Amino acid sequence: MARKKKNNFWQQLEKPIFALAPMADVTDDAFRQMFARYGKPDVMFTEFVSTDGLCSVGRKNLLRELQYTESQRPIVAQIWGRDPKHYYETAKLIAKLKFDGIDINMGCPQKKEIAQKTCAALILEPKLAQEIVLATKRGAGHLPVSVKTRLGFDKIETERWLTDLLAVEPAAVTLHARTKKEMSEVPAHWGEINKAVKLRDRLGSKTLILGNGDIKSYAEGLRRIKETGADGVMVGRGAFGNPWFFTGKTLPDIPLQTKLEVLQEHAKLFEKNFKPRKNFATMKKHFKAYVSGFEGAAEIRAELMQVKSASEVASIVKKVLAKK
């Protein structure tokens, strides 16, 4: 969609909003292109990129992680770090790269990021978190700044934490309906998303609220939006291996030939975009997602796990389809 220079694209989106979640080592440019082709969501995010790295001599290499195509718009760059000055400088850079928005990762629960007191650890430092949002907004200029986070760190603190975030007026907040401590090991607390929406309305905030966690189908996303009053949902693992997700189709709806041909297309695009920078083995997680739920899937997956190139994927697909 076209974006006027000073407009907040979030406010232009029709509701309900469906977003494709940023996922490390998953939502790269090739992955996003597949969704742009077969079932485009309302907004997409890059994998999270380090603000420290983008403010260092390693910037050139990291900039490759921020490549995107026009077909992916609106496209939001997700960033992470701890130093507000680096957020400011990174936001200026992202604006120059003509992204549609910037998202701050305050939700990743992985040990590496927590050890650096970044991502979900920022929930424990609300003043710093606010300073980071404000610094990013200053650097972003006309770009809207959003936040992806969780309900709390060791315990659910939706009201306390969201009140702190809303005070600095991000364009949108995506709430993964679990705490950092819970990782993804318990069912998402969707009742907290409803509490978040009510709090936002009570405070008179214009910030959009998106819920995230355990959305396995488009229909379930619609149901969660209706139940909670959220402006939309963000979908991660539920869309894995299903670039048709946002059309409302589930994988059983897709003919085997189509799934395998699109898998082959994905592998070819990945190789074209990232060879030799990324190991082709990264595609293996996608093989598992695409090739499941049908007779003979395990055998095909086993073969795909051995491949080292897109041409080998094509050979396996050709062989399988010849038998059908």
Catalytic residues: 108
- H/E element, 7: none
Q: Which residues pair with 211 in a beta bridge?
A: 175, 233
How far apart (Å, rounded) are the C-alpha atoms in residues 168 and 163? Answer: 9
Cα 46 from Cα 22, distance rounded (Å) = 6
**Which of 20, 21, 3 has its CA nearest to residue 12?**
3
Nearest to 42 by CA among 68, 6, 11: 11
| C-alpha to C-alpha distance for 33 and 68, rounded to whole angstroms | 8
Amino acid identity for residue 141 in this structure: G
CB 210 within 8 A of CB 16: no
Residues 6+ apart with CB under 8 A from 28: 47, 65, 270, 273, 274, 278
Q: How far apart are CA 269 and CA 34, in angstroms?
A: 9
Beta pairing partners, 290: none
* Spatial CA neighbour of 88 closest among 128, 137, 125: 137
Phi first, then psi: give them for residue 281, nearest 5 degrees: -60, -20
